[in-house]
Structure 1
């Protein structure tokens, strides 16, 4: 019986109408997170029931109730539900709110202890006027939850907190999670001083996913072994040295997904990522704010024959070499333009692209094209991409980069599809020599069949550029232009643009020009 109500609430009706809803329960909803901090049990109870009622009301709206169940006054239908359903309902609540349900009645006292997913976040403490007290309460709360839970394993453990207030406690919590065979560890730790994770984290046999965001040097033990780890995400960490960083990557023999985001490689000279099982690799370098003398970087050698997805974004502050990539790799390369030391960056860009010589699909930015052709003496080192059939430009193409794009297309003799996902920069007028072609790429004569142009504004520069493509692509079959609704609703402008594109000379007489609304 729910002690705070003398009559059943509408929540009872919502819950009692459910028949075996394990696969039908609604997804998680955003709920208040300050529930457990209240010292008054009755307001807590009311808030909990309101939250659960919101969940179930939403569920009720999503499914058709085929049967009406009669409810006797005073009967608690919620507590009569099987444990499995109640556990499923509690799994949609934040950990603090799920634990707070223990005060509802004796029936609910221990239900939360079976919870397999735990999440703790101290970010709500920093706006509190009783900061020190709240920090202490947070630490005690996490500790008590770990001590009182009855589940034998932890499927997912999420922790976001400032380490400076509770370094020893953080180590204890993580050790407890590892002891309970945690499968996914998601840590966001703000450390102003060097902080070492407990060594047991680095030889866990149960971990499948490790996501670590930590604003300090990543202290690594002498021995690292993740025999089952499938996913590793590192963000904002500073790698300490070559040998320990190499141990980290070598200690993940079955890793399938690796993401290194905004990390510092400054203490490294050379590191190798050679993981046969790796299928997805993302490297996102920190924004560059230093001087050009800081571009020494390190050598990152990547050897993975089973890789399917590769993404790099940054200033090429490190030298990246790719080996043994197969044709099935979907590559995405974004290189930010840095005027200083452009020759050095050009050489690094060429070295990076040389490793993509077998791939069939590449997504690149305008900056990447600029970087490739910013130094004349590197062009001979750029290979011919015999397998590449699809090229997508992920950023707006600047008019000054059209010439460099044509130079790149000369090295893509079998290109079949060319996508301008952000179109041409309409704000920058073209100069007289911007589109002057030294030689027409072979693919325009032999293989290019489809051009997709997005973000069309019907500017004169865009029309002239598309006209250029239509003139030189003699076997082009279709040009798909994606434009705004306002353009399509202006029949006069639409007809004018269409007529202009169809005006001779036109390389391919059979090319279909289609306009689509976006």
Structure 2
């Protein structure tokens, strides 16, 4: 029975409910090596309830959840089982009517005991605006110091991490994801990272408490993601870094320095402005770059510099509306696209097809004569005439490429399903698809 429950996809709550079938199962389910406890399961459709009734019902549900959480802990402590994975997701942490802090701390202490050998720890506290006094959970220092030697994956959301005179220790950690984590200082963050000598993947999303310039050094880091972490300037020194993703504001690229990471093979930018200054020396900075992705890209003033000679695959999402003449200069777009002629595949994402229909007066030299594959995604629906003009423009832009056009699911101005039919007919006749 233990093997059956351990191999199932049931959450811990549903696994515990199986005890109604057999009293023997009551002794078996606490021995399962993976505990997945999720308060979100208690949420029902409450659209028709007024706010006061909904808050009262949520309070009762949360109390029942905490009772269940306490019961699970007592049974696991009784049988003293090993634990490979512990995942806890709570919606109402911080409500002063319940001893949330004490129960959660006991769970973490239990999961992080040296003889437990937990490998994956996933703790998420979801902020609820209705809470009268919400304070983030402070991660126990005992978890960070010496009680998590077997951890390989650590995921934290909506917690607070403070610095200490005692060094952290995660000797086996390979993956760390931090979301909405509040650090007491830069020192607290650097102390956490310094205790991870073999970390390969690091994700920082909406983290706060960091300021000024932060120097992140790691010999093992291979993949790094930074998403909206304020005005802090990251200086990355990771000789083995291969993948980097940046989500930020319009000029957020200036807050990151990865020039010393010569082995980068993949770069991905979201909502970022790139300029000619940034692109200058690109080939020498990232000589091994093969994949470049620009989401919600804002173009700065730049010329064609043939910046990326080794690039194999590029994806560009461009901010262009229905009236390109008022928001985009086609000549500047042509000059920018010339930088990607060395790529084998280029994917372009634009809201309106008109943005990629180049007027005859600017069609001199195609910007992508050597491109092999051109994929275009558009959001707006259109007419047969506009689609035909778009296809003609794309064939001029990349005369040697196999061209494909797709419509994305996101349509800011949903009109008809006409474009899907148009694309289907063109693919069959014009492209042989």
Q: Which TM-score applies when normalising by structure 1?
A: 0.63
Alignment of 1:26-65 (within 5 A): none
Matches of 1:352 and 1:174 in 2, distance apart? 48
Offset at residue 271 of structure 1 (A): 1.4
1:392, distance to aligned residue in structure 2 (A): 1.6
CA deviation string 1:455-512 (max 9, x = no partner): 48556555445434433545x143334476512566xxx59x97xxxxxxxxxxxxxx
1:419 to 336, 347, 360: 347
Q: Which of the two has greater strand per residue?
A: 2
Superposition RMSD in Å:
3.9
Partner of 1:268: 211
After TM superposition, list the pairs within 5 Å mapping 1:425-436 onto structure 2.
Answer: 425-426=352-353, 436=362
Structure 1, unpaired ranges of 5+:
1-82, 287-294, 338-344, 499-512
Residues 211-255 of structure 1 show CA distances to partners (whole Å, capped at 9, x for unaligned) of 0001x5432433222111111011112333222212222222111
Distance 1:220 1:160, change over 3 A: farther
2: CA distance, partners of 1:412 / 1:477: 13
How many residues are aligned here?
383
SS in 1 for 2:112: helix
Which has the higher Rg, Structure 1 or Structure 2? Answer: 1
Aligned with 1:304 (options 238, 241, 256): 238
CA–CA distance in 2 between the matches of 1:352 and 1:108?
65
CA distance in structure 2 between the partners assigned to 1:176 and 1:431 by the alignment = 64
How do residues 382-461 of structure 1 correspond to structure 2 at under 5 angstroms? Answer: 384-394=307-317, 398=321, 399=324, 400=328, 402-412=330-340, 414-420=342-348, 422-423=349-350, 425-426=352-353, 436=362, 440=365, 444-445=368-369, 447-455=370-378, 457=382, 460-461=385-386
- Counterpart-to-counterpart distance in 2, 1:195 and 1:84: 33
**Paired residues for 1:76-155 under 5 Å:** 83-88=1-6, 91-102=8-19, 104-123=21-40, 124=42, 127-128=57-58, 130=60, 133-134=63-64, 137-151=67-81, 153-155=82-84
CA-to-aligned-CA distance 1:261-307 (integer Å, 9 cap, x gap): 22236x41111233232222222227xxxxxxxx8x12112233333
Q: Does the 8 A contact of 1:410 with 1:440 survive in 2? A: no
* Displacement after TM superposition at 1:116 (Å): 0.9
**CA contact 1:362–1:392 (8 Å) conserved in 2:** yes
C-alpha displacement of 1:133: 4.8
Gaps of 5+ in 2: 44-54, 128-133, 408-418
Q: 1:334 aligns with which of 270, 280, 300?
A: 270
Does residue 88 of structure 2 align to residue 159 of structure 1? yes
Q: Aligned equivalents of 2:282 and 2:186: distance in 1?
A: 25
Deviation larger for 97-106 or 110-119:
97-106
- The CA deviation string for residues 313-361 of structure 1, in whole angstroms up to 9 with x for no partner, is 2214460111344566222212167xxxxxxx85996699785564122
Distance 1:213 1:260 in 2: 10
The yes-or-no answer on 1:225 pairing with 2:152 is no
Alignment CA distance shift 1:190-1:466 (3 Å): closer
SS at match of 1:419: strand
Partner of 1:471: 396
**Distance in 2 separating the partners of 1:313 and 1:328:** 17
Aligned counterparts of 1:419 and 1:324: Cα–Cα separation in 2: 28
What is the alpha-carbon distance in structure 1 between the residues aligned to residue 423 and residue 308 of structure 2?
A: 38
Judged with a 3 Å threshold, the aligned counterparts in structure 2 of structure 1 residues 198 and 464 are, in CA distance, closer, same or farther, namely same
Aligned to 1:322: 258
What corresponds to 1:187 in structure 2?
123
